[in-house]
Copies of this chain bind each other. A is one copy, B any other.
Amino acid sequence: MRTEYCGQLNLSHVGQQVTLCGWVNRRRDLGSLIFIDMRDREGIVQVFFDPDRQEAFNLASELRNEFCIQITGTVRARDEKNKNSDMPTGEIEVFATDLVIINRSEPLPLDSNHENSEEARLKYRYLDLRRPDMANRLKARAKITSFVRRFMDDNGFLDIETPMLTKATPEGARDYLVPSRVHKGKFYALPQSPQLFKQLLMMSGFDRYYQIVKCFRDEDLRADRQPEFTQIDVETSFMTAPQVREKMERLVRELWLDVKGVELGDFPQMTFAEAMRRYGSDKPDLRNPMELVDVADLLKEVEFKVFSGPANDAKGRVAALRVPGGATLSRKQIDEYGKFIEIYGAKGLAYIKVNERANGLEGIQSPVAKFLTAEIVEAILARTGAADGDMIFFGADNAAVVSDALGALRLKLGRDLNITEEGRWAPLWVIDFPMFEDNGEGGLTAMHHPFTAPKDMTPEELKNLPETAIANAYDMVINGYEVGGGSVRIHNSQMQQTVFSILGINEQEQREKFGFLLDALKYGTPPHAGLAFGLDRLVMLLTGTDNIRDVIAFPKTTAAACLMTEAPSFANPAGLAELGIQVVKKEKPASEEMPEND
């Protein structure tokens, strides 16, 4: 029905007869001529109708925005004065000799020129996706997945599908359950990741696996989370952690080169401990040059308990953050930053403002300076490298609170004061994570997942010193976002049982939940390691949006609803009876009333 796409016409087509299919993007009626901007997937071209071709001209007068049409006409070069350099097709136009109105359109409920509420955009998603910036993101996503697949195929990875109807796993976040009709009273779980299946594929000998696969988490959603998300899931046998990282880094470097034309270079590596110390985060944004500096050793003896308490506590931390040019911050702004860090559990924000200094501490402005000696202040200034016009913020509390609060403050100040170099790319690997972290109930929880191998430890050593064990795990971080994470896996039954025990899973539970894994580990399991990328996150970075819904064709709201189809909905009670379940509690969510539609 078409010979060309609108958006692909150029001077090489001049003189040719073309047939185009698409939509009226805009219409201008100049009386003697009718102009329309005609849009299709590839872009927009100007089409005009002349009264000499009366039938087409008359029909064109009926055109309105978003009518679906087919035109046949001749491509002409525009006069020099009518060329439009803002349009890729701006050097030509099409003189339409025939017009077919394929389908008319009512006026759109979305305004194409103004901002629409996200609610309206989600309700009329099929119209919102007509906007070129939205369509281009999904086109970029398709290009990215295609690039990734070709890379993986060309590197000997096999695309193998794993099940969606799986057994519930005890991983942190919650499973979506699916009632079984055949086995009434029993449930499948939608996978949070294909973790165990991909490990089993290594045990089968497939050697290199990948899959671009939907995963699910029924958790409280944040702005950048969706109940279903897509992973680029990878697993390898007989490869070391550095080899896995090298290959995955090459994938990402080639992807950035292909999509953005940017050479990312070698990714630096940083241990978890160093990242927390210097950036207060395990996913540091290295575009921001500010760093946390530990000063506890300088403050052990001061009378100011807010500093000396944590400075003398093995689990405490006292750190300073120098803000270049931060002396311009007003009292009000400082108070706001103080409020901001309360989100992270910090109790207050001590600071030293370094105005123009004359003699000694003259020019130093600080509510805490009075508790400190001049030597200590000078030592802090020296260690942080503070110059005139800078600000130093302090965090003093238990280590986690200080890292979280100053880490978040660092990011916020980086944005607010334009210190972060937004225009560049800063990738890195964070490695050497702890195996376990406190679960807040006196026990331990796996920092990565329970199938991650420790670095250089026997099961006995791990059992004796779980708190200090380092996992052979790694995260890929770009511009402060964790885009991927993985680890070397346990390939030994005794080690796997030791980790389960440390996590408080007793032997009976181990058999019930992971019997098949423990069995499988007995039959010559190869050493294996892998990684998973968050595809949505990669596409967000590559298309320059921080709204995850912009890179998903039909996303859910933060209340996990689809405003277009009105899912979820009430089920037929007879259908539920067949599943052997019934609804015992209906709640209307406060945030989002939905019509009872079934």
> Residues on A close to B: CB < 8 A?
1-2, 21-24, 39-41, 66-68, 70, 102-106, 108, 124-127, 129-130, 135, 138-139, 141-142, 145-146, 149-150, 153, 158-168, 174, 176-190, 196-197, 200-201, 203-208, 214, 216, 218, 227-228, 230, 237-240, 491-492, 512-513, 515-516, 519-520, 522-527, 552-554, 556, 559-562, 564-571, 575-577, 579-587, 589, 594, 597-598
* 16 sample A-B contacts, Cβ–Cβ < 8 Å, listed by A number: A22-B205, A102-B524, A125-B204, A163-B228, A165-B227, A165-B228, A165-B568, A168-B571, A177-B179, A177-B579, A185-B570, A187-B568, A187-B571, A200-B554, A201-B553, A580-B586
A566: which B residues are within 8 A, CB to CB? 167, 515-516
A200: which B residues are within 8 A, CB to CB? 125-126, 554, 564
A150 vs B146: C-alpha distance when bound (angstroms):
8
Which single member of B103, B142, B523, B525 contacts A526 (CB below 8 Å)?
A: B103
A201: which B residues are within 8 A, CB to CB? 126, 129, 553
The 5 closest A-B pairs by CB, nearest first: A185-B586, A105-B524, A129-B204, A167-B567, A186-B568
B130 touches A21 (CB 8 A): no
A569: which B residues are within 8 A, CB to CB? 167-168, 186-187
A512 vs B572: C-alpha distance when bound (angstroms):
13
- Please give me the residue from chain B that is nearest to A570 by CB atom: B186
A565: which B residues are within 8 A, CB to CB? 166-167, 196, 516
A554 touches B524 (CB 8 A): no
A205: which B residues are within 8 A, CB to CB? 22-23, 39-41, 129-130, 135
Known: A105-B523, A153-B146, A167-B569. A581 touches B580 (CB 8 A): no
A373 vs B432: C-alpha distance when bound (angstroms):
93
A204 vs B168: C-alpha distance when bound (angstroms):
37
B581 touches A583 (CB 8 A): yes
- Please give me the residue from chain B that is nearest to A110 by CB atom: B523
A67: which B residues are within 8 A, CB to CB? 524
A21: which B residues are within 8 A, CB to CB? 237-238, 526
